[in-house]
Amino acid sequence: MAIRHRFATSLMALIACLGGANAHAMPTETLADGTILVRPAEQALVVSGPIGTNFEAHFRAALKRYPQAQVVIVRGPGGMRGPALRVAELINSRGMTVRISGRCASACALLWASSRSREMTPTSKLGLHRSRLPDSVMLPAPIEQRLVARNDRETDRVLRDAGFSLQLIAQGNRASPTSMSWFTPVELQRNGVPFTLLGNPLPGAAVHLAANATVTTQPTQQ
């Protein structure tokens, strides 16, 4: 049974690879979601934790319960890129703003970058790295490399469309799938990424891009 499940998962990944630009609509692994809470005082939905398999359904349900929401506050280690990109499309269709409060990495960063209206708090950070396939996917190396390369190209396109410079994108690509390149709001603004920085930046927050650290962290799915 386990072998059959792994084969089916791998077959789904191969179909996704051949499916072109819309392949992210097919998740290849079950991943638990974080939480989505309502914060009426700010007309906001607060998304915390990983972006999992049911993230889009949970987000739509939260919007149905609280349609007045104007802001989506995000923090989390990442997760599945497909649900993140689809929720970004929904957010854009409703004219909502995505605000990073805390650390937002990997698929969380893609959600933020894919949104047209973006904010960050002074102490927040955005994390980027190269993508990887779920551990459950077992494919021949050439196919796996093709899938990962497609995901990385999609990430680069999203970041370019969001106003990230080639230098910032290259910095993110230097982080392996099991590490992270972290960027402060001041770094992002100094390199031309358009968004609203709420409040005043903290003293000493202006870190030069060349000094940006890559640190080891727990791997997350993209």
Q: Encode pLDDT of 127-147 as tens digits.
A: 999 887 766 667 788 888 888
| Residue 37 belongs to a domain | yes
CATH number for 145? 3.90.226.10
How many separate domains does the chain show?
1
| Residue 67 belongs to a domain | yes
| Residue 187 belongs to a domain | yes
What does the pLDDT look like over 100-119, one tens digit per residue? 999 999 999 999 999 999 99
Decide: 31 and 79 in contact? Cβ < 8 Å.
yes
| Residue 101 belongs to a domain | yes
Bigger pLDDT: 215 or 49?
A: 49
Q: What band does 33 get if pLDDT is binned at 50, 70 and 90? A: confident
| Residue 222 belongs to a domain | no
pTM (2 decimals)?
0.77
Average pLDDT, the chain: 81
Decide: 87 and 31 in contact? Cβ < 8 Å.
no
| Residue 119 belongs to a domain | yes
Q: What is the pLDDT of residue 144?
A: 80
| Residue 103 belongs to a domain | yes
Q: Which domain holds residue 77?
A: 2-216
Bigger pLDDT: 3 or 123?
A: 123
Bigger pLDDT: 146 or 12?
A: 146
| Residue 221 belongs to a domain | no
